[in-house]
Amino acid sequence: MGRIFVRPSLLTMPESKQAYLQIENLTKHFGEFVAVRELSLEINDGEFICFLGPSGCGKSTTLRMVAGLEDPTDGQLFIGDKVVNEIEPSKRDIAMVFQNYALYPHMSVFENMSFGLKIRKLDSAEITKRVKEAADILQIDDLLLRRPKELSGGQRQRVALGRCIVRNPKVFLFDEPLSNLDAKLRAEMRVEIKKLHQILKTTMMYVTHDQTEAMTMGSRIAVINKGVIEQLDTPDRIYRHPVNKFVAGFIGSPQMNFIEGNVSSSDGILHFASGKIDLDLSGHNFNTIPSKVILGIRPENISLKTSENKSSNNIIKAVVDLIEPLGAVSLLHLNSDGIRFSASIKSIENIIEGIEAEFIFDGSSFHFFDAASQKYLD
């Protein structure tokens, strides 16, 4: 199955509806456990926002409260200017795509996609028109007579998307929809869902634990941890300007390196020291310097010392514990007197496991966090 190819001039689906979403102090308790804690968020009409976080952080619970599948313990939900807390799910004018597709196994693709429209008592001509147009968007028009068991995982996910499209909802909700697909299909479906958003221009909320999905699809990302939004911003700003150590460690692959140490001044120049690691912090200024800091640096900002860059500052000796070939680059797991970090290196000629080599830390790419509060240091 190829990727989406749409001829917009042929689309006659109804125009997308206005759907400004507002979440105010949303809280959800399960007994003594607080799954979501006073979460507030405004989502613009037509925006694609991703909820990103580890399993159990409250992102799916939040989505289910928006859908009406869970009742909030406290807080309010608005769609447009209407409070929807007490409105049943079927009347909120939203559509949800589930992880397990939720297709009726005894129905054909056409029947699955049209079922919700029949419940709403649309006439058969309008139903057929909407289903065929959605099938054309998703390139599944040749599958309309098949049953779900005759479809691949990617085709089933397209049918689940089509069932939502025909309803022309105000909001699309996605609950980890790609987690059951293999890596190749996930990559293809990421592109298709993003293109679908560009075509429909409908508000979309997308829950995932996969940072690649969030970074490539969302116009903004809400990074959630323990029921709280840690940071809400564009993918680029979250990557380049994380507000705390949790966000910095969760965003980016391979993960950011963290080294705890101290910052001190010598001859007017700031230095970071941890064990035998001593780094020149020229160009870095701090409003206040805590007693303990955590230096963060991404593996791609550590390079192998060569004859061409031997005059660089911040050269660290480390033993190569392990090499992971990743194709265009290799991930080196390094040990400098007990301090472990990784480096993403393009060319590792003459580098083998067990040898000691010298590596350059790019000082312009340092991030600093307060060791006590874990917050980013300005």
Per the structure, the complete domain to which residue 349 belongs is given by 254-370
Q: Mean per-residue pLDDT for 110-125?
A: 92
Beta strands 203-208 and 171-175, pairing class: parallel
Q: Residues of the chain with pLDDT > 70: what percent? A: 94
User: Are 249 and 52 spatial neighbours (Cβ–Cβ below 8 Å)?
Assistant: no
pLDDT tens, position by position, 336-376: 999 999 999 998 888 999 999 999 999 999 999 999 999 99
> 107 and 231: one domain?
yes
> 281 and 144: one domain?
no
Residue 270 lies in a domain: yes
Question: What tokens does 149 get?
Answer: 């068991």
> 95 and 235: one domain?
yes
Which of 293, 221, 294 is CA-nearest to residue 252?
221
Averaged pLDDT score across all residues of the chain: 90
Task: Between 257 and 268, name the one with better pLDDT.
Answer: 257
Q: Residues of the chain with pLDDT > 90: what percent? A: 72
> 175 and 264: one domain?
no
Q: Distance (Å, rounded) from C-alpha 253 to C-alpha 247?
A: 12
User: Are 137 and 165 spatial neighbours (Cβ–Cβ below 8 Å)?
Assistant: yes
**Among 149-163, 203-217, 277-291, where is mean pLDDT lowest?**
277-291
Residue 116 lies in a domain: yes
> 221 and 258: one domain?
no
Residue 94's DSSP bridge partners are 171
Number of domains in the chain: 2
| pLDDT at residue 9, rounded to an integer | 31
pLDDT tens, position by position, 284-294: 888 887 879 99
User: Are 48 and 204 spatial neighbours (Cβ–Cβ below 8 Å)?
Assistant: yes
Q: Taking 50 as the threshold, does the pLDDT of residue 259 lie above it?
A: yes
Question: What tokens does 54 get?
Answer: 């580890």
Q: Taking 80 as the threshold, does the pLDDT of residue 4 lie above it?
A: no
Q: What is the CATH number of the domain that holds 178?
A: 3.40.50.300
Q: What CA dihedral angle connects 203, 204, 205 and 208, to 10 degrees?
A: -160
| pLDDT at residue 282, rounded to an integer | 85
| pLDDT at residue 6, rounded to an integer | 44
> 169 and 273: one domain?
no
> 335 and 230: one domain?
no
pLDDT tens, position by position, 38-72: 999 999 999 999 999 999 999 999 999 999 999 99
User: Are 50 and 213 spatial neighbours (Cβ–Cβ below 8 Å)?
Assistant: yes
Confidence bin at 3 (pLDDT 50/70/90): very low
| pLDDT at residue 335, rounded to an integer | 97
Q: Taking 50 as the threshold, does the pLDDT of residue 106 lie above it?
A: yes
Q: Taking 80 as the threshold, does the pLDDT of residue 11 lie above it?
A: no
Domain boundary among 249, 272, 301: 249
Q: Distance (Å, rounded) from C-alpha 222 to C-alpha 365?
A: 24
Kindly report each contact of residues 87-94 with a partner whose C-beta sits within 8 Å and lies 24 or more positions away, as own/partner: 92/67, 92/68, 92/170, 92/171, 93/17, 93/169, 93/170, 93/171, 94/66, 94/67, 94/68, 94/169, 94/170, 94/171, 94/172, 94/173
> 31 and 108: one domain?
yes
Domain boundary among 249, 270, 295: 249
Q: Mean per-residue pLDDT for 198-226?
A: 95
Q: Taking 80 as the threshold, does the pLDDT of residue 18 lie above it?
A: no
Question: What tokens does 359 get?
Answer: 């590596």
Residue 376 lies in a domain: no
> 50 and 158: one domain?
yes
Q: Taking 60 as the threshold, does the pLDDT of residue 234 lie above it?
A: yes
Domain boundary among 217, 249, 281: 249
Beta strands 48-52 and 203-208, pairing class: parallel
